[in-house]
């Protein structure tokens, strides 16, 4: 992305968030909050703190070249089943979605609803019963790139790529997954829309540490 385009993008989103203009330099990135909904099974959380911290850190690494970052807004207990076995299981999570953040549900397992013999590691889901709620669901077995991939869907890239190494493909290779210029443009447009509608809000400059689940 050219420097001029990056400058215009960061200035625009800061204006949407009512941030005072900065005379000397634009902010390094737009930072969006992620709210983790943590499922429990047998009286225990399905994942430890380092699971989502690693996922968010990797997402930040991947999206940094595009002036987009993520921060943990908090961790709350998720209600309902810890194992996502059906469309209905996924849909009911929509009742728990909170405005202003990217809602990420961490569950014990995530079955493919079209191919039930397969288990998925993550999905960007639109609830039919609690529309227009949409959110990310991560299985506790997800590797560190999965959240970033699902955030790519959440931020306006619904299609999968056939290009090896692209974040939106199923073949990430050994390097840092990347986004193609048209994908970056869709991310920018989608974030602008979310901010304008109030669906997302930028992370505050200073925030209290997230409570332990």
Low-confidence ranges of the chain (pLDDT < 50): 1-27, 206-212
pLDDT attached to residue 5? 44
pLDDT attached to residue 28? 57
pTM for this one?
0.83
**Chain segment 63-94, per-residue pLDDT in tens:** 999 999 999 999 999 999 999 999 999 999 99
Superfamily, domain 3-196 = Collagenase (Catalytic Domain) (3.40.390.10)
- Edge to edge, the sheet with strand 83-84 lists 83-84, 109-111, 119-120
pLDDT attached to residue 173? 84
pLDDT attached to residue 125? 98
pLDDT attached to residue 26? 46
Write b or e for each residue in 89-115: b if 16 or more Cβ atoms lie within 10 A of its Cβ, otherwise e: bbbbbbebbeeebbbbbbbbbbbebee
Contact 147, 105 (CB under 8 A): no
What is the domain partition of the chain in residue ranges? 3-196
Contact 35, 133 (CB under 8 A): no
Continuous segment of H or E residues that includes residue 104: strand 102-107
């Amino acid at each position: 992305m050219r420097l001029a385009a990056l400058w215009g993008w960061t200035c625009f989103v800061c204006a949407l968030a009512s941030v005072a203009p900065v005379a000397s330099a634009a902010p390094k990135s737009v930072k969006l909050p992620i709210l983790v909904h943590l499922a429990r099974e047998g009286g225990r959380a399905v994942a430890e703190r380092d699971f989502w911290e690693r996922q968010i850190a990797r997402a930040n690494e991947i999206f940094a070249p595009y002036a987009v970052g993520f921060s943990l807004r908090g961790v709350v207990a998720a209600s309902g089943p810890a194992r996502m076995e059906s469309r209905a299981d996924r849909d009911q999570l929509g009742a728990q979605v909170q405005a202003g953040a990217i809602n990420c549900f961490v569950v014990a397992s995530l079955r493919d609803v079209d191919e039930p013999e397969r288990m998925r590691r993550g999905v960007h889901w639109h609830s039919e019963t609690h529309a227009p709620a949409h959110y990310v669901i991560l299985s506790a077995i997800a590797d560190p790139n999965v959240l970033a991939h699902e955030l790519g869907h959440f931020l306006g890239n619904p299609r999968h790529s056939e290009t090896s190494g692209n974040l939106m493909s199923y073949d990430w290779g050994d390097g840092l997954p990347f986004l193609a210029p048209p994908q970056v443009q869709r991310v920018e447009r989608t974030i602008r829309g979310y901010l304008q509608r109030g669906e997302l809000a930028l992370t505050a400059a200073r925030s209290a540490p997230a409570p332990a689940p």
